[in-house]
Amino acid sequence: MKRLSFSLLFFIPYVAIGQLSVATVFSGNMVLQREQPIAVWGKALPGKTVEVKLGAYKSTTVTTNDSSWIVYLPKQKANTQPQSLGISSGDTAVLFSNILIGDVWICSGQSNMEWTMKKEMHWNGEKSNAHQPMIRFMNPPPVGRYVYGVPYTDSLVRRLNKDSFYLWNGWQHCDSTTVQIMSAVAYYFAKSIVASENIPIGLINLSIGGAPAETFIRADAMRNSKQFADKVKGNWLTNESLPKWMRQRGSENVSNVSFVPFDELGPHHAYKPGFAYEAGIELLLKFPVKGILWYQGETNAEETERVNEYRSLMKLMIDDYRQQWKQPSMPFYWVQLSSIERPLWPMFRDEQRKLLADVNNGGMTVCSDIGAKNDVHPTNKKDVGERLARWALHQTYQRSIVPSGPLPLKAVYKNGQVIISFRYADGLQTTSQEPLNGFSVDGKNLMPATVSGNKVIIPVKEKPAFVYYGWQPFSTGNLINNEKLPASTFKLQVQ
């Protein structure tokens, strides 16, 4: 058999050997999704027979007139024993080795999901533990990673198409060398799942620093939405329905550059509406996955109109992902933005919280307690990843574990008091046993409040319209539960 070197970077969506090619999501060291039929696909000469073997399973097909082929292998249970995947057609063959069967998670968002292990707060202590043979990851860098404020070079421009936007550079096993450039949030998530479930975990990291939510959403999904159709009309660089910051950054990269590929929505770019979906998510739709991990929002949190629409925009994306993957209950877990001195972030965090009511089989990780006052990139990703894992362990893996810090249920006025009840409220307390902080009835002036059992009590002179918690951009809130998990920012109408 001819063997393929997976250290190469491929500029096409298929790994090609002679007249046979295989989709670039496949390589040695990969994880295939358990308990779902396994699809393997690629290109070959029309009319040629293609045979695919995985362990004891084998399937054949005949290439269609457009040169495409796809085979389906039976679903398998989780398996930590390495297998080989062989694909052959005529006298050409490809062999991928060291393949495990487990759960695959797509990791997406912007720079806080992209944040690498080598820059993470706990890296020096963690690197001796980073040999994790049951964690495998694919980390394809997108065009323009870390290239801000300057025009793209010719070599970057040539990659601005869906087939070469991401460098599909193969799967890697996790050790102290390979994991340095992997998403720290994703690594800590996977490590927690492996420790609990003892199954292989595969991670595909499609995050893009600075990216708006719109680039990860299918253009036709927005086009078919009455609320969001304007986002995919005309040149995106001048479309005021999109975040101003993303348009400015995009203009700096491609506005004055010759020969940039374009279509009716304008020049291609990582931030262009629908483009990261087309170049990343769409190529994986035949590849079964367990769920989605999402850490994004900073780019959409700078203008009031963008903040107010984010909840609906995310609902559109989640529903469409589930429809396109044909997995109507696919888990989707997201990270609420942290604390920082940016005026609209409390409102944005609350919109992310309210999304919980719209998404079945979803969950939100709170990290406002580990934010940085003047830095959009808090370096403690360990707590973020582990808190994401709590949601997955609770809902996806059905473990008896508290997934979240306190989430508000209702606020009631009675006898000169506002009484706030919570979900996940066992052992309500404050950090370091300090006085309770972070509550107000006007979103500005903090008020005394106390914990009483699993409720919070605020004395008031008259019934307020709303009660707020953590409404300072850099939150002073210190309410936690028995698991030491922080309460979410919220604005709640008083009944």
For residue 320, the domain's CATH number is 3.40.50.1110
**pLDDT of amino acid 373:** 94
**pLDDT of amino acid 451:** 97
Residue 282 confidence (pLDDT) above 90? yes
Examine residue 1 and state whether it is found in any structural domain, yes or no.
no
Same domain (yes/no): 39, 117:
no
Examine residue 8 and state whether it is found in any structural domain, yes or no.
no
Same domain (yes/no): 114, 91:
no
Q: How many CB atoms lie within 10 A of CB 341?
A: 13
Same domain (yes/no): 349, 324:
yes
Mean pLDDT of the chain: 95
pLDDT-based confidence at 11, cuts 50/70/90?
very low
What's the average model confidence in pLDDT over 212-216? 98
φ, ψ dihedrals at 23, nearest 5°? -55, 140
Examine residue 387 and state whether it is found in any structural domain, yes or no.
yes
What's the average model confidence in pLDDT over 225-252? 97
At 193-206, the pLDDT tens digits run 999 999 999 999 99
Q: What are the structure tokens assigned to 430, written together? A: 């404050």
What's the average model confidence in pLDDT over 290-300? 98
Cα–Cα dist 407/488, whole Å: 6
Same domain (yes/no): 347, 428:
no
Please give the C-alpha separations between residue 75 and each of 7, 34, 101, 113, 327, in angstroms, as whole numbers.
29, 6, 10, 30, 15
Residue 479's nearest CA partner among 460, 455, 446 is 455
Residue 481 confidence (pLDDT) above 70? yes
At 123-162, the pLDDT tens digits run 999 999 999 999 999 999 999 998 999 999 999 999 999 9
Same domain (yes/no): 164, 49:
no
Same domain (yes/no): 110, 240:
yes
Same domain (yes/no): 354, 463:
no
What's the average model confidence in pLDDT over 421-426? 98
What range defines the domain where residue 87 resides?
14-97
What's the residue count for the chain? 495
What's the average model confidence in pLDDT over 172-188? 97
Same domain (yes/no): 300, 344:
yes
Q: Estimate to the nearest angstrom the gap between the alpha carbon of 147 and the chain centroid.
A: 21
Domain count, the chain: 3
Are 180 and 115 spatial neighbours (Cβ–Cβ below 8 Å)? Answer: no
Same domain (yes/no): 185, 57:
no
Same domain (yes/no): 373, 234:
yes
At 372-396, the pLDDT tens digits run 999 999 999 999 999 999 999 999 9
Q: Report helix, strand or coil for 277.
A: helix
Examine residue 6 and state whether it is found in any structural domain, yes or no.
no
Q: Exposure of 17 by Cβ count < 10 A (0-12 exposed, 13-18 middle, 19+ buried)?
A: buried
